[in-house]
């Protein structure tokens, strides 16, 4: 066989060619079918939303996914990976609305739900072509032929099945969350609606700082001890109407609070109050601190500044659990309430640093109350249903007797209504509920401060009235009930990086609230729950078959009206044709009959799209309706990977659903990847114009350099500062070097007819030290790379491969081995054992590198592998095994010494302007032990050629010319001497030759009473007089720079060789061309040198003869530093 040789390799073109090869030979399919019956490695693809175009960060994310799937395939696993599309949800809806120029208001009016959903269905797969294109071009292997699609009926049916299972476990319930609500419009508002311009307006509200009276319990003893009398906690609110609903007070864990002795400013009764230290200034005048309490109490007309005194300072965590008396006791809670809890949303920006908490009227309040087991203050309506103290019209319920059926906000009253109320109140001005509550509390010694407060407050865009934060119905999954299970299972997952699992995800699980499933939208998976109007009966549908059965039963009952019958029949007809659409509006038109004969209609909600994607382990296979075997073999996943932003998204929903339904993790290993930023560390965005087009990048640089750059530049979980210049660097440095190395191999292997099919496996007997060394390095590399991939550390793997190729293989092995390959030898005579060993070694390294790099650079790895081996595909091969017999630690150390010695000699030559072409007599290496001498001796041949010296000689103690130096070994001294270390270190540094000799002889010496052992010092050699010396890291070498006439002449011969080689090259001769050299008579010293080294020169430049002539026509003038020679070469 012959190896292809390349000039100016275009990596994008390589990718193109390999891609079409893969396609026409179905290599991806084979990589799976060829592993039939092997253990599976399961990967779950997090579905991208196809309604946007892919970006460069998708190349990053998918490279990570691809690497480990390819690696596991090499390790013999069968790796099925089904692609998928996330197709439901708000982004799709918004895009459709933008395209059609409509808003949510129009749905059901100017456009039917049916038409709208049809449009969503069309839009959502809009960019699939682009996605598929990117997937292919970047070399990401995933099954695009048969992806799962979340809007397909089969997918939805599986989702319903999961919901049914949760329902049966009692984990699905209807409850409420606090959402913006417009009582005037009678509707909830989305955050989207609330963020429209003009919604937030400045309003003047009554703000009130209330005094909550602390109960004297164990928790609060320290307060009472300091105060000696009643203690009140101060909490501030801009919505006094929520005070009857107060259930807790929330403090900040790390906020500093104070207990202050002072007077109530309205009743002038002495009080002790608690508030945040930073906010004292908002309530007290600094000059009144430690004022005259007695004088104030005695004064008839009270002075402006109320005296106060700080009694105690403490952290929020110290008042957790302190109980207090209910402030406005209209309605009693069903469980213990009225205590201090901690919340992370508390600030010291306004108020008192303690937040009045009404679970029914604030999202934070609701959440923190739920987490702390604080009940909401509710009453039962006429149906026995629990409702808050304010009804949906915005009026107090009758139980709040003093304000029964009054609007809680003044803005809800019309002018006429205000007049009527004014009359009722018997005042000359209407006073709002807030104002009257303030007055009431003032007189009851429960208000510490009341004032008007300007702040922005959200208003309903339809009615212009302020919104309330109000509990609205939602369907929930009771994740709090399985919190412990979620936490326990999470501990079995390997997270990369670990902190995402323990920190971000772990903390999230610790603070879990129930999963709100409900979405009031149109395009999504409908909640499969039907209820009777009085909510006494309900059913959850777990399959299409169940639904159809229920639907038929309803038709047969004869209780449906004409419209209902029509809807049911239409659905039945569609289902009969296999076209049942489980979306709205069709499912909305289905009516069922309860066991008690009542009509049931569907709960209008759609479910959170995150449930869709979290359901994919099941729904991608239409489990349990189909593919039960495939599901069992591919669940749970061995590996998933997505952006760290998915922690609370997909990672959570996968984990939650699996934990609840299967009592299992959904994935065993997860890599959460960082962001791809621009080269300056800014977020990429189309708007800013700093987004990188993935297609252009792949086209210009090729997929392999792009992938390699992304993986080796930063750890996957760190943010990547993406710089195109970095790809260029990787391309030149790594891929360029590797391609050069391959080309070098190919060039000579072709000349010599080396055939790996016959000679591909190593014959260890013929290996040189250099061969053994690079193979030992290779074995170490294989082990390292295997481990790195297995541990989901692609960056380590890539960097290790890169270092091997550039530093060890190319720059040392090949550079020092070139001469062996040049050695002219015709194929006809058979190759020498040495040459075969060289080819085998280089071939072995290249083949292994091709395979190890192939998960990261799949096209190039394939290209290299195929060029080398002629086999079908690297991706169908088995991961190379470490051959332990080739590992040689001592040889690696030897070579390390050789490299350091060469580096030192080069450095000396450089500083003393001694060209490498000038041979020198010797270098001297001081060695303090026999082992080092042997280690260097093994490789001194390499050193001699590399730095062009005739001898490597060793100096030991016996030579008497060594001057030694001793340094303290701090690591050993520290533990032994501790505080006396400095003193001992000084003693060692000042040790004289005699003491040192003593130490060496006895292994121990005592100085100033300190016993110093041999292991506690480092002994090294220093300068040698008469030579050029250099040292580094304990290694010293001396260069003998004395030139003999003989050495000078050899140097001249080498110079001449150099010029002839240049001439050959300039003349365009082939490497194999033999030449004749003719030189015009000239300087005698040059003639002498050239003649003396004629055979050496001839061999080097492949000259058949060198002759001298008096006159030479058409000769080339060659500069030899001091003189010029006229030379002619011909074939």
Partner RNA sequence: GGGCUUGUAGCUCAGGUGGUUAGAGCGCUACACUGAUAAUGUAGAGGUCCGUGGUUCGAGUCCACGCAGGCCCA
For RNA, the closer CB: 664 or 1078? 1078
Active site residue 523: no
**Segment holding 365, helix H or strand E:** helix 363-371
Question: Which residues, at least 6 apart from 485, have a Cβ–Cβ distance to it below 8 Å?
Answer: 659, 660, 663
The two structure tokens encoding residue 366: 């609701």
Q: Which residue in the list 23, 683, 915, 1109 is annotated as catalytic? A: 683
Query: By C-beta, is 414 or 680 nearer to RNA?
Result: 680
Q: Are 701 and 11 in contact (CB under 8 A)?
A: yes
Stretch that binds RNA, among 80-88, 476-484, 950-958, 1068-1076 (CB under 7 A): 1068-1076
Closest to 342 (Cα-Cα) out of 328, 355, 360: 355
Q: Which residues are CB-contacts of 740 (< 8 A; sequence separation ≥ 6)?
A: 810
Residue with smaller CB distance to RNA, 254 or 881? 254
| Among 301, 577, 884, 971, contact with RNA (rule: CB under 7 A) | 971
Q: How far is the CB of 267 from RNA (least distance, A)?
A: 34
Cα(837)–Cα(808) distance, integer angstroms: 17
Residues in 340-369 that interact with RNA by CB under 7 A? 344-347, 363-364
Among 627, 719, 832, 1041, binds RNA (CB under 7 A): 719
Q: How far apart are CA 143 and CA 80, in angstroms?
A: 8
Question: Could you say which residues in the range 476-515 bind RNA, by CB under 7 A?
Answer: 497, 499-500, 503-504, 507
982 lines the binding site for RNA (CB under 7 A): yes
951, β-bridge pairs: 922
976 is a catalytic site residue = no
| Cβ(251)–Cβ(320) below 8 Å | yes
Q: Are 352 and 234 in contact (CB under 8 A)?
A: yes
Return the residue of 39, 76, 681, 1026 that touches RNA, per CB under 7 A: 681
Cβ(502)–Cβ(493) under 8 Å? no
Of 1109, 581, 938, residue with least CA distance to 1130 = 1109
Residue 518: which of 527, 507, 509 has the closest Cα?
527
From 59-67, 404-412, 484-492, 902-910, give the range in contact with RNA by CB under 7 A: 902-910
Q: Which of 54, 244, 252, 636 binds RNA (CB under 7 A)?
A: 252
Question: Of 141, 475, 515, 610, which is the active-site residue?
Answer: 610
Nearer to RNA, 902 or 952 (CB): 902
With tokens 């481990």, the residue in question is: 787
Contact 774, 838 (CB under 8 A): no
Q: Between residues 450 and 814, which has the closer beta carbon with respect to RNA?
A: 814
* Strand 354-357, strand 248-251: pairing: antiparallel
Site for RNA in 771-800 (CB under 7 A): 795
> What mask, x for binding RNA by CB under 7 A, covers residues 258 to 287?
------------------------------
From 22, 650, 708, 1086, the catalytic residue: 650
Say which of 78, 646, 715, 899 is annotated catalytic.
646
Work out how close the CB of 916 gets to RNA at its nearest, in angstroms, rounded to a whole number: 6
Tell me: does residue 995 bind RNA (CB under 7 A). no
Figure out which of the listed residues 814, 831, 880, 949 binds RNA, where binding follows CB under 7 A: 814
User: Other CB atoms closer than 10 Å to residue 1011's CB: what's the count?
Assistant: 12
Catalytic residue among 66, 86, 605, 608: 86
Closest distance to RNA from the beta carbon of 276 (Å)? 12
DSSP H or E stretch at residue 430? none
Compute the least distance from the CB of residue 498 to RNA, in Å: 8
Q: Using CB under 7 A, which residues numbered 301 to 330 contact RNA?
A: none
φ, ψ dihedrals at 846, nearest 5°: -65, -40
Q: Which is nearer to RNA, 430 or 977 (CB)?
A: 977
Residue closer to RNA by CB (options 224, 822) is 822
Which one among 130, 391, 893, 907 touches RNA, defined by CB under 7 A?
907
Nearest residue to 71 (alpha-carbon basis) of 878, 858, 855: 855
Binding piece for RNA, criterion CB under 7 A, among 47-55, 590-598, 828-836, 973-981: 973-981
Q: Write each residue from 1022 to 1061 as x if it is in contact with RNA (CB under 7 A), else as -, in one continuous string.
A: ------------------------------------x--x
Residue 127 tokens read as: 């960019």
Query: Residue 627 CB, nearest distance to RNA (Å)?
Result: 33
Report in angstroms the alpha-carbon separations of 862 from 449, 865, 867.
Answer: 77, 5, 8
Q: Footprint of RNA on residues 720-759 (CB under 7 A)? A: 720-721, 723, 725-726, 729, 732-733, 736-737, 740-741, 743-744, 747
Active site residue 686: yes
Centroid of chain to Cα 349? 34
Among 98, 424, 815, 871, binds RNA (CB under 7 A): 815
Q: Give the active site residue among 47, 48, 147, 307.
A: 47
Among 98, 398, 632, 915, binds RNA (CB under 7 A): 915
Binding residues for ATP: 686
Nearer to RNA, 893 or 907 (CB): 907
Nearest to 580 by CA among 152, 163, 165, 159: 152
Our finding on whether 1064 is near RNA (CB under 7 A) is: yes
Asked if 217 interacts with RNA (CB under 7 A), we say: no
398 near RNA (CB under 7 A): no
What does the alpha-carbon distance between residue 759 and residue 687 come to, in Å, rounded to a whole number?
A: 59
Please enumerate in sequence order all residues whose Cβ is within 8 A of that of 651, keeping only pairs 6 or more positions apart, or say none.
505, 640, 642, 670, 672
Angstrom distances, CA of residue 917 to CA of 138, 946, 1050, 1051, 1058? 47, 10, 9, 6, 9
Contact 466, 458 (CB under 8 A): yes
Stretch 1084-1103 residues interacting with RNA (CB under 7 A): 1101-1102
Under rule CB under 7 A, residue 645 binds RNA: yes
**Does 675 interact with RNA (rule: CB under 7 A)?**
yes
Number of other residues whose CB lies within 10 A of the CB of residue 725: 9
Cβ atoms 943, 902 nearer than 8 A: yes
Number of neighbouring beta carbons within 10 Å of residue 829: 7
The side-by-side arrangement of strands in the sheet containing 599-602 is 538-540, 529-532, 599-602, 591-593
Q: Is 916 in the site for RNA (CB under 7 A)?
A: yes
413 binds RNA (CB under 7 A): no
Q: Provide the minimum distance between the beta carbon of 659 and RNA in the complex, in angstroms, as a whole number.
A: 20
Segment interacting with RNA, rule: CB under 7 A, options 277-285, 301-309, 451-459, 915-923: 915-923
Q: Reply yes or no on whether 86 is catalytic.
A: yes
Q: Is 935 a residue of the active site?
A: no
Out of 29, 787, 1073, 1105, the only residue in the binding site for RNA (CB under 7 A) is 1073
Sole binder of RNA in the list 293, 822, 954, 1010 (CB under 7 A): 822
DSSP state of 979: G
Q: Is 1015 in the site for RNA (CB under 7 A)?
A: no
Any residues with CB less than 8 A from the CB of 949 and at least 6 apart, and which? 905, 919, 920, 921, 922, 923, 943, 1039, 1040
Buried b (16+ CB within 10 A) or exposed e, 119-132: bbbebbeebbeebb
Q: How far is residue 28's CA from residue 51's CA, in Å, rounded to a whole number? A: 27
Specify the residue, 539 or 985, whose C-beta has the smaller distance to RNA: 985
* Alpha carbons 203 and 458: distance in angstroms, whole number: 10
The annotation places the binding site at 686
H or E stretch covering 445: none
Q: Is residue 956 among the annotated active site residues? A: no
Helix (H, G, I), strand (E, B), or coil: what is residue 522?
coil
Catalytic option among 686, 884, 913, 979: 686
CA–CA gap between residue 794 and residue 45 (Å, rounded): 19
Number of residues located near RNA, criterion CB under 7 A? 83
Nearer to RNA, 301 or 971 (CB): 971
**Closer to RNA by Cβ: residue 69 or 710:** 710
Q: Is 683 a catalytic residue?
A: yes
Q: Cβ 179 to RNA, closest distance in Å?
A: 12
Active site (catalytic) residues? 47, 86, 610, 646, 650, 683, 686
């Amino acid at each position: 066989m012959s190896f292809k040789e390349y000039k100016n390799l275009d990596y994008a073109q390589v990718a193109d060619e390999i891609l079409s090869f893969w396609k026409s030979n179905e290599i991806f399919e084979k990589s799976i079918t060829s592993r039939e019956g092997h253990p599976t490695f399961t990967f779950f693809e997090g579905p991208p939303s196809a309604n946007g175009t892919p970006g460069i960060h998708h190349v990053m994310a998918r490279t990570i996914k691809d690497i480990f799937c390819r690696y596991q395939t090499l390790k013999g696993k069968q790796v099925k990976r089904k692609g998928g599309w996330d197709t439901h949800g708000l982004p799709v809806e918004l895009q459709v609305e933008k395209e059609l120029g409509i808003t949510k208001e129009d749905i059901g009016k100017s456009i039917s739900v049916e038409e709208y959903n049809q449009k969503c269905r069309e839009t959502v797969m809009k960019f699939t072509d682009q996605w598929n294109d990117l997937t292919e071009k970047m070399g990401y292997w995933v099954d695009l032929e048969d992806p799962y699609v979340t809007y397909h009926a089969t997918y939805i049916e599986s989702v319903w099945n999961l919901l049914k299972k949760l329902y049966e476990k009692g984990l699905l319930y209807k409850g409420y969350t606090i959402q913006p609500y417009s009582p005037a419009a009678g509707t909830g508002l989305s955050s989207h609606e609330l963020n429209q311009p003009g919604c937030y307006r400045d309003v003047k509200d009554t703000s009130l700082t209330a005094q909550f009276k602390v109960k004297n319990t164990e928790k609060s003893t320290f307060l009472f001890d300091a105060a000696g009398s009643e203690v009140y906690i101060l909490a501030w609110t801009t919505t006094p109407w929520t005070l009857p609903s107060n259930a807790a007070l929330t403090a900040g864990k790390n906020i500093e609070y104070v207990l202050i002795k002072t007077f109530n400013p309205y009743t002038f009764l002495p009080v002790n109050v608690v508030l945040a230290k930073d906010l004292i200034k908002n309530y007290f005048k600094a000059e009144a601190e430690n004022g005259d309490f007695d004088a104030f109490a005695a004064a008839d007309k009270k002075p402006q500044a109320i005296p106060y005194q700080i009694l105690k300072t403490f952290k929020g965590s110290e008042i957790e659990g302190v109980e207090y008396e209910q402030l406005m006791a209209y309605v009693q809670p069903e469980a213990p309430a009225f205590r201090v809890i901690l919340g992370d949303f508390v600030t010291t920006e306004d108020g008192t640093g303690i937040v009045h908490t009404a679970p029914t009227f604030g999202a934070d309040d609701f959440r923190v109350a739920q987490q702390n087991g604080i009940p909401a203050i509710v009453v039962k309506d006429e149906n026995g249903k629990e409702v808050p103290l304010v009804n949906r019209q915005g009026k107090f319920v009758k139980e709040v007797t003093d304000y029964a059926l009054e609007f809680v906000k003044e803005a809800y009253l019309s002018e006429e209504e205000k007049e009527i109320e004014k009359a009722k109140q018997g005042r000359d001005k209407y006073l709002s509920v807030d104002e009257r509550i303030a007055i009431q509390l003032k007189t009851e010694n429960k208000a510490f401060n009341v004032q008007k407060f300007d702040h922005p407050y959200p208003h309903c865009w339809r009615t212009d009235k302020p919104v309330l934060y109000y509990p609205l119905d939602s369907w929930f999954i009771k994740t709090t009930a399985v919190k412990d299970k979620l936490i326990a299972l999470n501990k079995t997952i390997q997270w990369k990086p670990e902190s995402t699992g323990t920190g971000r995800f772990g903390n999230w699980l610790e603070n879990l609230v129930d999963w709100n499933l409900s979405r009031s939208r149109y395009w999504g998976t409908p909640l499969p729950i039907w209820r009777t109007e009085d909510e006494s009966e309900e059913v959850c549908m777990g399959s299409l078959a169940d639904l159809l059965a229920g639907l038929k039963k309803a038709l047969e009952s004869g209780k449906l009206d004409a419209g209902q019958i029509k809807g049911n029949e239409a659905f039945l007809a569609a289902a009969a044709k296999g076209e049942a659409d489980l979306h709205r509006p069709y499912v909305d038109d289905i009516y069922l009959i309860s066991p008690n004969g009542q009509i049931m209609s569907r709960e209008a909600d759609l479910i959170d799209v995150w449930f869709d994607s979290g359901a994919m382990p099941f729904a991608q296979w239409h489990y349990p309706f189909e593919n039960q075997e495939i599901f069992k073999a591919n669940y749970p996943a061995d590996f998933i990977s997505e952006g760290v932003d998915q922690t609370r998204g997909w990672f959570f929903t996968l984990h939650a659903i699996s934990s609840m339904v299967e009592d299992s993790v959904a994935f065993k290993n997860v890599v959460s990847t960082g962001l791809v930023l621009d080269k300056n560390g800014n977020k990429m965005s189309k708007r800013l114009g700093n987004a990188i087009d993935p297609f252009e990048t792949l086209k210009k640089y090729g997929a392999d350099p792009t992938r390699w750059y992304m993986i080796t530049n930063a750890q996957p979980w760190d943010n990547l500062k993406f710089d195109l210049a970095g790809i260029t660097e990787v391309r030149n440095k790594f891929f360029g070097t590797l391609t050069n190395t391959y080309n070098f191999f190919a060039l000579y292997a072709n000349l010599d007819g080396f055939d790996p099919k016959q000679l591909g496996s190593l014959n260890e007997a013929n290996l040189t030290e250099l061969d053994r060394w690079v193979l030992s390095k290779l074995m170490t590399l294989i082990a390292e790379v295997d481990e790195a991939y297995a541990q989901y550390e692609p960056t380590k793997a890539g960097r290790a491969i890169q270092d091997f190729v550039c530093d060890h293989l190319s720059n040392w092995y090949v550079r020092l081995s070139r001469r062996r390959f040049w050695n002219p030898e015709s194929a006809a005579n058979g190759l020498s054992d040495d040459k075969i060993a060289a080819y085998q070694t280089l071939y072995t390294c290249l083949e292994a590198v091709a395979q190890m790099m192939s998960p990261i650079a799949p096209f190039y790895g394939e290209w290299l592998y195929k060029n080398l081996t002629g086999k079908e595909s690297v991706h169908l091969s088995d991961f190379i095994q470490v051959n332990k017999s080739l590992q040689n630690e001592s040889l690696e150390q030897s070579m390390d010494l050789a490299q350091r010695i060469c580096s030192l000699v080069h450095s000396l030559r450089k500083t003393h302007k001694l060209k490498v072409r000038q041979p020198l007599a010797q270098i001297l290496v001081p060695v303090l032990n026999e082992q080092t001498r042997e280690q260097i001796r093994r490789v001194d041949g390499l050193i001699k050629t590399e730095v062009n010296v005739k001898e490597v000689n060793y100096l030991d103690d016996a030579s008497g010319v060594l001057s030694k130096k001793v340094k303290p070994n701090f690591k050993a001294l520290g533990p032994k001497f501790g505080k006396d270390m400095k003193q001992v270190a000084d003693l060692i540094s000042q040790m004289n030759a005699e003491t040192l000799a003593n130490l060496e002889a006895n292994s121990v010496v005592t100085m100033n009473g300190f016993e110093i052992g041999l292991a506690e010092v480092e002994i090294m050699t220093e300068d040698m007089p008469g030579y050029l010396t250099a040292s580094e890291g304990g290694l010293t070498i001396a260069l003998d720079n004395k030139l003999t006439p003989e050495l000078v002449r050899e140097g001249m011969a080498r110079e001449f060789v150099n010029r002839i080689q240049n001439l050959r090259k300039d003349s365009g001769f082939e490497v194999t061309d033999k030449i004749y050299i003719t030189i015009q008579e000239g300087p005698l010293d040059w003639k002498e040198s050239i003649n003396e080294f004629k055979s050496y020169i001839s061999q080097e430049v492949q000259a058949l003869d060198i002759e001298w002539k008096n006159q030479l026509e058409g000769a080339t003038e060659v500069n030899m530093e001091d003189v010029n020679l006229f030379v002619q070469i011909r074939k």
